[in-house]
Chain A
Amino acid sequence: MEIIDMQVNGTTILQLHGRLDAYEAPAVEKLLQKANVNRTPRIIVDLAGVNFIDSTGLAMLIVGLKHCEQKQGKMVLCSIRQPLHVIFELTRLDKVFVLCNSQEDAIEKISQPA
């Protein structure tokens, strides 16, 4: 999995490419942990390049979200492709995460006051 880790105006943007499964999730988890060290973390996970996610990948994103919310932060997922979107709908995790169509939308969403 290729991960691009960017900092834009205090927001961590993780752009992921490839499969987000049990083998790849730990690398992303580390970056989410790093981002969640901040006082009120702001995290965008861009899934445009992700073509597969398994339950370990989903669990890793849930952990990231829980930690972020514990610190009154915000975490947004964006650019989810159709096959992945179906999984978020089936598991009803679309009710748990804030999902945005594009990275621009996500930046706007995360910049809004709570």
Chain B
Amino acid sequence: MYQKRSDDPLINTLYADRFTIDALAESWLKENIRAFGIWGSHLLVCWPASAWNELSIDEMVLDAPIKIGERIIGKIGIAGLHTEIARARLYAEAGLISQMVSMRVKFEHAATELISQAQLKSEIDMAAHIQLQLLPQKFPQLDDLDIFARSCPATQVGGDFYDFSSPNSHPFVFAVGDVSGKGLPAALFMVMTRIMLHATAHSLSTSDASAIVARVNEDLYDDFTEVGMFATMFVGTYDSTTQQLSYANAGHSPIVYCPTTGPLVFLEADAPGIGVLPTSLCKNHTLPFHTNDVLIVGTDGLVECSNLEGEMFGYDRMLFAVKSLSHLSSDQIGSELLKIIAKFAEGLCQFDDQTLVVIKGR
């Protein structure tokens, strides 16, 4: 059997003594599903159901549908038969061919879909792996600070991030951010924002956290505007010589400052996130940060998760939990706080990305 394309680009002509199911199915899948074939002295056509009227062949044996599920995507017809017996026999055969082509076409469709799903999944797996690797895997070892960090995306990849400057840099810079949305779009912008932040903190080398936020906003405003996204961000700098912590908060929450000498306070934002306004309104704030003082920087996925009754974990529970854990090491505070939140939301899927950084004065 051989096949050739006709002059009409829509029509694929199969010349054969006998059609094979594979050739027909292939014709459906690759050749715009219009096929003529010569079967012995007869003509066999394989045509889209919607375009059946294009054909004007007498003595056509019809109604042998090619189906995917319940949808008829084409028909097989046989023409040129002159006896009732031959017609009846070939009619039955056309029905059989149509069923076999249907199955083959369906199989090909399912296989193609499976392959593309598998390819997409493996690409997302790879993106998730790369994204997690991009976040600092080892927490910086500093003489004055004990640090914990963890990020758990709601889907495989997410828009939350944390970052630290090199432990030897002066001042030491840390940040937590949350890009709007979820999944791959958020993940792409998360990587971009984190890299920009890291480079900016390194090049400015300043303890003025608001200057870092302002520069990142300036550099990324157009990109965020282009795609209709924004990112909340908390940037902190720690100066070991003065034992002071400076911070700038661009629309980010929750942040809990837990000093040994006073009550716990939420450090609220004084400006909206990155990409919202062309010029950042963030101010720089300074706090004393001594031995055993604790700073918790989370993302909203921690406080906005709900339990089975539909209650949110909320800021009061967060404050209460932090208070009860603040005497522990940063690693224990972080792990225990995440356990408390996971227990609260037990039985429900994690809805939003959750990221937590704990910093404790040594």
Contacts and interface: CB of A to CB of B under 8 A. Distances in A.
B228 A59 contact: yes
A59 B281 contact: no
Contacts, number: 54
Contact of A91 (B228, B272, B281): B272
A39 interface: no
A59 B269 contact: no
A73 to B, nearest CB: 16
Interface string A95-111: 11000000000000000
Interface residues of B, number: 24
B180 A56 contact: yes
B182 A93 contact: no
A90 interface: yes
A84 interface: no
A62 B269 contact: no
B229 interface: yes
Contact of A90 (B228, B251, B276): B251
Contact of B181 (A59, A93, A96): A59
A63 B180 contact: no
Interface in A61-90: 62-63, 66, 89-90
Contact of A59 (B230, B268, B270, B352): B230
Nearest to B275: A62
A59 B270 CA distance: 18
Contact of A93 (B159, B253, B270, B272): B272
B122 interface: no
A24 B230 CA distance: 18
A92 B271 contact: yes
A62 B228 contact: yes
A93 B274 CA distance: 11
A95 B281 contact: yes
B269 A92 contact: yes
A7 interface: no
Interface in B293-307: 300
A89 B232 CA distance: 13
Interface in B73-128: none
Given A55-B180, A56-B181, A90 B225 contact: no
B178 interface: yes
A25 to B, nearest CB: 9
A95 B228 CA distance: 18
A26 to B, nearest CB: 11
Nearest to B353: A55
12 contacts: A55-B181, A59-B181, A59-B229, A59-B230, A60-B228, A62-B228, A66-B225, A90-B253, A90-B269, A91-B272, A93-B276, A95-B281
Closest 8 CB pairs of A and B: A55-B180, A63-B228, A91-B251, A59-B180, A92-B272, A90-B253, A92-B269, A56-B181
